Structure 1
Amino acid sequence: MFRDGNAHGDTDLVILRDSLEDKALLMGSSIAGALRNYLRDHKYGYNAEEISVLFGGQRSDEEGEQSPLIINDAISNTVPHIELRDGVKINSITRTAEDAQKYDLELLEAGTQFNVCFELLIENNREQLIRELVIVLEGLESGKISVGMKKQRGFGRCHVEEWQVWKFDLRKPDEQISWLNFEHWQLGLLPNHPTYESIEKALGLFLDEKEDKRDRLTVNATFTLATPLLIRSGQASSDKAPDVVHLKSRRDGKLQPVLSGTSLAGVLRHRAERIVNTLQKNTSIIDEIFGVDFSKDKTKKGKASRLIVHESVIKETEDLVQNRIAIDRFTGGALHGALFNEQPIFGSDKTELNLELELRQPKPHEIGLLLLLIKDLWTGDLPIGGTSSIGRGRLQGKKATITLASENKVWNITQVSKDESLIIDNAKDLEKFVDALNEEVAT
């Protein structure tokens, strides 16, 4: 999502559009910011001092050098399809919506295509410039870099399908003419010119995985639905549609049910608060992991979330409509005019959803807290979505892979069926992280 700060209308956050063609506009500054942060994290680790030549001087340096990398604004190839999402802040104690905390926002549909142009001017430090360029473009190519708003909640993930590369030696007059005549604004890949699926192959420089200095814990877990699931959406297609339908997003030209990163992150945060409060520890631990939204809590300093929660597509489900009616608590009878219907999704033996979490700069006690959250999801003790009070929203874990980059360790967890015990690689290692949480509480 790319926010238009000048737009006015019924939607709180709208997509930035080109004023002439009504196509989506991707600002070069948005891409540059995402690439710059990724390069710093990749080379030196999170929160390190930025030392690079690709993006010129440091942000704090008022007299720094100009970046030799030019990134043009990009316009979507077609008029995009827009998805409308609702958001609301939930009170962690009452588990109900807080007053005046509802908002809605526009999103670009998955699959929206842009043609992005990069231009690198090389005068000095050729080898370092090319290597840093390959690092950031490979990150963009493989989906490691997100752009736009709400990146920590799974939005803005993108990848590059094909590359075309041109080289001009401006020390030669004929090359200068070729560069001046080159149509930088040309939309789409130019015909009769080689294309590459990998930027490493295109530039002839291959990266070593050891160069990645990012310290992070990643969790990739596969779940199935133990009960029906309902995440409310305002996507009713007609007047005859149910009053409440499950959230869906278009993938590969088809609407598919999803578990949004915002819903899952909210559930995880509330359960983390409950765990920490039970252990009688200061909830600053929660803010360190999930961040602080200054616009919602002006008593605290804003801080980005270190926990990245990606959106998940739920495969092999079925939509069924259920009729319900509100009950008058005084008479015990049906409340007049309060008949409504809902359309949750139901699972089967083939139903799967893959949860992908990433915790940056993890500390041992934070890993322990995240493991407890995964455990609660795995056993169905932590429901997600709405109407959990009537038994919806419970998951059942099938397998998980936990990777800690700093120690180069991988743990696998599997459970063949609900009635069988878990199979965990080196469970004692994971128990140490939970012990670290207890020790952190005791200090």
Structure 2
Amino acid sequence: MSLERLNRHQRPIAKRIIVRGRLILDTPTCLGSGDADSPTDLALLRDSISDHALLTGSSIAGALRNYLREYEQGYGKEEKKTDRATSLFGGTRRNTSLFGGTRRNDDGEQSPLIVNDAISSKIPTVELRDGVEIEGTTGTAKKGQKYDLELLAAGTEFSLCFELLIEQKQDPREQQNYEDRLVKSLALALRGLELGEISIGMKKRRGFGRCKVKTWQVWEFDLTQNEKRSKWLLFEHWCTELSPEHETYSSIATALGLSLDEEEDKRDRFFLEATFKLASPLLIRSGQDSTGCAPDVVHLRSHRDGELKPVLSGTSLAGVLRHRAERIVNTLNQSEKMAQKIVNDVFGFVDENSKQAKASRLVVHESVIENTADLVQNRIAIDRFTGGAYHGALFSEQPIFGSDETRLTLELELRQPRKAEIGLLLLLLKDLWTSDLPVGGESSIGRGRLQGIEATMKRQIPGKATQTWKISQDGEHLQVSDANTLEAFVSNFVGR
């Protein structure tokens, strides 16, 4: 082998920064292992030694890299081969400088950030969720499209550990600029975890994988100094837990001694947060009898704060919204092709024939339903020919019932919104608000209807002040702030 091929680029390291944090899951999370022999369609990824849940460093790095790219460039921007980290004063992409070159760039720089695998603090509580694809025209389940998932329960904790390697440059001014930009890029990426804006695992846009880091610790080692170099060599690198003897911070910017602003945020987003109460019983079937009770069908529950609470899943709500959106665009005499395009642009699609796919731009979060009551109802199937009861067809169900104190908050986020798409979301909100659009199952017997209480909408446009609108129900009267602007969004959708 020639000496030229053996001549590799060596990185003289001037400083190392170690960051630790404690990640807590806010919603169930799907970290699939890809095990084809599992009894479920998608089994949980576990550590082979301890049987604890495993969150790989590559998954963490990918989520951080994607967040940093969207934060700096906006949604829908792909990484280019020319996005290199060679320029230190200006056009450097933060995601490239922090995480290295793209896979398509054979000459790309190596990542200066080391991301460790994270193992859950204890053997996790596991939830099983069933899913099924619904045929839009018939409203029934597609044959062979039922699946089940193994999920980590909310509240599961992971210990995160990062190590940033800062190279030694020849020019002192260049060194300071390079170090400041690299550390700030790391702070921006980790702040996404701190604010809960980064989700992990599968089905992130349907409410799964929401997480947050509340505690940080930082160690800084200047390797040009003998004392600091010795401390780094004696540091407990094998441990990723927070140290009880080291200072903790709630803000990563404070921990790194930085001041972060929002000027670089290029994400264009529309938020909708609406609070409802139950106008009728609600039943979303759980995949298994999670409560250990006798009823054949029990409403879906999820672990929150150490107890099982009823939830409205993001997958169920997204399916309901998509089906109603199709009805709305078809009612407005849109051509079938145009109507399908509008819905696909917002909710995403997968075409098995053409092998094309597009991710949803609408993020639908999972919602906890507070202050509910459980009652068991017995039902029986009727023979339509005789009008009598089917033999052996007696079954029991346990939906949830609401009261005046029952509250359910729906959270939606539309990325890269167009005015017409915001108008479509407002029409969907109107149908939910007036109990015209039921959620969950057995809507034909009056279940799943909501009644609106209040809603807040925000439009975040890069470089502009955030716009806010509010809607509230005051008895029989509806209070709307800046109704003309909201009506203009709907008119834009109707007139397209």
Q: TM-score scaled to structure 1, two decimals?
A: 0.96
The residue aligned with 1:289 is 346
Using the TM superposition, give the Cα deviation of residue 278 of structure 1 relative to its aligned residue in structure 2, in angstroms. 1.6
Q: Report the equivalent of 1:67.
A: 111
Cα deviation for residue 236 of structure 1 reads: 1.2
2:259 is equivalent to residue 203 of structure 1: no
Determine which of 10, 31, 37 is the counterpart of 1:8: 37
Q: CA deviation at 1:54?
A: 1.1
Question: Residue 298 of structure 1 corresponds to which residue in structure 2?
Answer: 353
Say yes or no: does 1:410 pair with 2:468: yes
What residue number does 1:276 align with?
329
Partner of 2:279: 226
CA 1:128/1:301 → structure 2, altered by over 3 Å: closer, same or farther?
same
Deviations 1:127-162 (A, max 9, x none): 111111111111101111001111000111111121
Aligned-residue offset at 1:385: 0.4
| Mean Cα deviation higher: 56-65 or 27-36 | 56-65
Where does residue 321 of structure 1 map in the other structure?
A: 376
Q: Give the deviation of 1:279 after TM superposition.
A: 1.9
Q: Structure 1 counterpart of 2:100, which letter? A: G
Deviation of 1:59 (Å): 4.2
Q: Give the 3 Å change call, closer, same or farther, for CA 100–43 of structure 1 in structure 2.
A: same
Q: Which one-letter code corresponds to 1:43 in the other structure?
A: E
Bigger relative CO (Cα 8 Å, ≥ 6 apart): 2
Check 1:240–1:308 CA distance in 2 against 1; reply closer, same or farther (3 A cut). closer
2:427 paired with 1:380: no
Task: Return the letter of the residue paired with 2:480.
Answer: I
**Which amino acid in the other structure matches residue 10 of structure 1?**
P
1:425 has 2:486 as partner? no
Q: Number of aligned residue pairs: give it.
A: 436
Query: Which residue of the partner structure matches residue 350 of structure 1?
Result: 405
Separation in 2 of the partners of 1:341 and 1:23? 37
CA RMSD of aligned residues (A): 1.4
Of 117, 131, 139 in structure 1, the residue corresponding to residue 161 of structure 2 is 117
- Describe the superposition over 1:207-262 as per-residue Cα deviations: whole angstroms up to 9, x where unpaired: 21333211000001111101000000033147752000000001000100000000
- The reply on whether 1:30 has 2:83 as its aligned counterpart is no
Partner residue, 1:401? 456
Distance across 2 between alignment mates of 1:210 and 1:412: 26
Secondary structure of 1:33's match? helix
Give the C-alpha shift of residue 68 in structure 1: 0.8
Tell me, in whole angstroms, the C-alpha distance in 2 between the residues paired with 1:104 and 1:46: 30
Confirm whether residue 167 of structure 1 aligns to residue 220 of structure 2: yes
**Counterparts of 1:94 and 1:232 in 2: how far apart (Å)?**
19
- Corresponding residue to 2:149 among 105, 108, 116: 105
Partner residue in 2 for 1:359: 414
- 1:39-80 CA-to-partner distances (Å, cap 9, x unmatched) read 111112112355221112234322210111111001100000
Contact 1:147–1:157 (8 Å) recurs in 2: yes
**For residues 266-291 of structure 1, what are the alpha-carbon distances to aligned partners after superposition, in whole Å with 9 as ceiling and x for unaligned?**
00001111111222321111111111
Looking at structure 2, the residues matched to 207 and 226 of structure 1 have their Cα atoms a distance apart, in angstroms, of 45
Residue 143 (str. 1) matches residue 196 (str. 2): yes
Deviation at 1:298, TM superposition (A): 3.1
* Bigger mean CA offset, 41-50 vs 320-329: 41-50
SS of alignment partner, residue 428 of structure 2? helix
Q: Contact (CA 8 Å) 1:224, 1:397: kept in 2 or not?
A: yes
TM-score, normalised to structure 2's length?
0.86
Displacement of 1:10 in angstroms is: 1.7
1:181 corresponds to which of 234, 247, 250 = 234
Amino acid at match of 1:412: K
Quick one: structure 1 residues 35 and 238, their matched pair in 2 at CA, closer, same or farther if it must change by over 3 Å? closer
Deviation at 1:300, TM superposition (A): 5.2
Q: Helix, strand or coil: the match of 1:233?
A: coil
In the aligned structure 2, how far is the partner of 1:205 from the partner of 1:437? 44
* Helix, strand or coil at the partner of 2:217: coil
In the alignment, structure 2 segments of 5+ residues that lack a partner are: 1-29, 80-92, 168-174
Question: Do the aligned partners of 2:46 and 2:53 also contact (CA within 8 Å) in 1?
Answer: yes
- Give the alignment partner of residue 253 of structure 1, picking from 306, 327, 335: 306
Q: Is the Cα–Cα contact under 8 Å of residues 117 and 184 in structure 1 kept in the other structure?
A: no
**Residue 73 of structure 2 is aligned to residue 44 of structure 1:** yes
* Distance in 2 of aligned mates of 1:243 and 1:318: 18
- Which residue identity lines up with residue 146 of structure 2 in the other structure? K
Match of 1:335 in 2: 390
Partner of 2:131: helix, strand, or coil?
strand
